[in-house]
Chains A and B, each alone.
Chain A
């Protein structure tokens, strides 16, 4: 099962290496990992999507908590979460196909971020499923490159994850 884990860490050099190393050596599988600083510049937030049983999840949380630079670990039920990922997709696109692709982009609320004579780069921020779906829609044109950020997640509603 997929689990979304949010981790607040001290914004120190080497923290990411410690977290990534922990996952590797304990045999936990990471689907994606995204990291960035929070409103407090001394704290970074890591969002990890991990695959595993409930036992694995419990161990991940406990082992993360043992890292001295980890301030807080929370595991969320996907229903209470707002999850987003950003993707950049570069496709082959002849001038004659542009209108069609622009229409597609409009439907899914993607942006046209870059354009050349025979390529187009699209940008979409959405849930993982929608992103995958968008990628499939674009595949027939010939995908040249895909870059994804990994998911970030936040609780819905008025609650927030603070210290």
Chain B
């Protein structure tokens, strides 16, 4: 059979039923076979969104998802999505067409060195030059993308290779001698960790996005409950524990809440679970100097990278937490927890009344959070809207998806599209700003075309709000290039896509808009009008 056919068969063998992509001549042989194999192809309106959608899809299924693009500009358009997935450790296989292998290097039409260009952002990449390698490359790519610390893997497929004839047999096992992720966790280190927990007076679990990768959020919660350890989240770790859990104290970091940051600055034992101590998450590393630090992560390079660690444990969180749980007992941390509760209470402020014609975003997001059905998926974009969402949505269950590491505007709508494609039974809502919305609203058409009905909420402040705030605070309020004048009427825009919409200009209208959004099985858009001077941290 042709390599193109083998590629489609490889996807089938990997259990891939849906791919996101955008075709072009250099990937046509493969598209023809996708069609013949009956793999569902979702035609996004920009390649970057194929990548973001695959990210949303992968985060729901926990398995590598696939995005496809053609050579040259199609491939380079994927790069931001690749980088975004790489930063957040999202498993993904990207397939790009490439010019014929005998033409590579001559700057022919639509030639781009995509393996070279994407190198800093991939976990691995292949430029296939020998057609016989196809099966192994696909098998390895899926394995590498999904195992250890997950990440994007790129397969670049020259046109002539796609058309070559091969004998195809898909391998059933992988053996890459140079890639053997360490999953088990050193027994002695786990024992030391258990002892440190037993000895600690003010322990704290900092739960990151790695818990989702390892499918270990439940175990983390069990450990917290058994040993009475308070929990804080990184942004990527949000929704790993119910927001109302008595041991939960919120999100840490530059945009986190006071109780959570107080906890991290005052604990005597910090237990980092699948969190990489990003600079926006742990802003005052020096405050941690006296504390014992247990860092559990599947990627040894993250341990000790940003924070000196007392007890490093490399491995799969599920396996390690299972062992830790067996060694943990019921410890009394009443005083410590009370202190944190005190911080939490003292940080609470009454809601500020917004100016006329505007809604307090905190109030709106809180209301939305309370109205959500079980297992909803919220995709937060980047900017003020992201922080308002992360800080106030208070998910009891379900998932929060956002671009944590890269802070990529334009992530939320395509990610919601992908998440909804993976989990059609769930309520999936993208929340973005009016700036980021205009980077991604072309995907409303994709939702309609494929009947993937995610919902969208746009916080309209007519500004690139977060940048405006930086300019207000650090540049004498000289607002440069942050006004979004000229933006379209979003209600009319939604209407142009055949999507019903509501504008909320007063909190009294919010609940009925939310109810309408949640009631429909199809897409729905809410525009929430927000004061342009609204602060991020309210």
Residues of A within 8 A of B (CB): 9-10, 13-14, 17-18, 21, 25, 55, 58-59, 62-63, 65-66, 68-72, 163
Q: Verify B300–A25 contact, CB threshold 8 A.
A: no
| Other-chain contact of B124, A59, A68, A72 (Cβ < 8 Å) | A68
Interface residue stretch chosen among B39-47, B172-180, B316-324? B172-180
- Shortest A49–chain B CB gap in Å is 21
B116 at the binding interface (Cβ < 8 Å): yes
B304 at the binding interface (Cβ < 8 Å): yes
Interface centre among B115, B144, B179 (most CB of A within 10 A): B179
Q: List 12 A-B contacts (CB under 8 A).
A: A14-B116, A14-B127, A17-B116, A21-B120, A25-B120, A55-B304, A62-B300, A62-B305, A63-B301, A65-B301, A68-B178, A71-B177
Q: Verify A14–B115 contact, CB threshold 8 A.
A: yes
B299 at the binding interface (Cβ < 8 Å): yes
| Other-chain contact of A68, B115, B144, B300, B301 (Cβ < 8 Å) | B144
B119 at the binding interface (Cβ < 8 Å): yes
Beyond known contacts A18-B119, A21-B120: 10 more, CB 8 A cutoff: A9-B178, A10-B178, A13-B129, A25-B120, A55-B304, A58-B304, A62-B301, A63-B301, A65-B300, A66-B301
What 10 pairs between A and B have smallest CB-CB spacing? A62-B301, A71-B178, A68-B124, A68-B179, A25-B120, A21-B119, A62-B300, A63-B301, A66-B301, A70-B178
- Shortest A96–chain B CB gap in Å is 51
Q: How many angstroms between the C-alpha atoms of A62 and B304 in the bound complex?
A: 11
- Shortest A17–chain B CB gap in Å is 7
- Number of residues of chain B lying within 8 A (CB) of chain A: 18
Which A residues are CB-close (under 8 A) to B116? 14, 17
Q: Verify B119–A17 contact, CB threshold 8 A.
A: yes
Q: Who on chain A is nearest to B153 by CB? A: A68
> Which residues of B151-183 are within 8 A (CB) of A?
176-179
Which A residues are CB-close (under 8 A) to B178? 9-10, 68-72
Q: Who on chain A is nearest to B116 by CB? A: A17
Q: Hey, what's the 0/1 contact readout for B113-157 against A, CB within 8 Å counting as 1?
A: 001100110011001010000000000000010000000000000
Which A residues are CB-close (under 8 A) to B301? 59, 62-63, 65-66
Known contacts A14-B115, A18-B119, A163-B177; A66/B304 CB under 8 A: no
Which B residues are CB-close (under 8 A) to A72? 178
Interface centre among A55, A62, A63, A69 (most CB of B within 10 A): A62
- Shortest B332–chain A CB gap in Å is 38
Q: Who on chain A is nearest to B299 by CB? A: A66
- Shortest A119–chain B CB gap in Å is 37
Which A residues are CB-close (under 8 A) to B129? 13
Q: How many angstroms between the C-alpha atoms of A58 and B312 in the bound complex?
A: 14
Which B residues are CB-close (under 8 A) to A68? 123-124, 144, 176, 178-179
- Shortest A18–chain B CB gap in Å is 6
- Shortest B323–chain A CB gap in Å is 24
Which B residues are CB-close (under 8 A) to A55? 304
Which A residues are CB-close (under 8 A) to B304? 55, 58
Q: Verify B305–A59 contact, CB threshold 8 A.
A: yes
- Shortest B374–chain A CB gap in Å is 38
Q: Who on chain A is nearest to B302 by CB? A: A62
Q: How many angstroms between the C-alpha atoms of A70 and B123 in the bound complex?
A: 13
Q: Hey, what's the 0/1 contact readout for B270-285 against A, CB within 8 Å counting as 1?
A: 0000000000000000
Interface centre among A13, A14, A63 (most CB of B within 10 A): A14
Which B residues are CB-close (under 8 A) to A66? 299, 301
> Which residues of B80-124 are within 8 A (CB) of A?
115-116, 119-120, 123-124
Q: How many angstroms between the C-alpha atoms of A32 and B177 in the bound complex?
A: 27
Q: Who on chain A is nearest to B129 by CB? A: A13
Q: How many angstroms between the C-alpha atoms of A65 and B116 in the bound complex?
A: 19
Q: Who on chain A is nearest to B151 by CB? A: A66
Interface centre among A18, A63, A65 (most CB of B within 10 A): A18
Which B residues are CB-close (under 8 A) to A69? 178
Which B residues are CB-close (under 8 A) to A21? 119-120
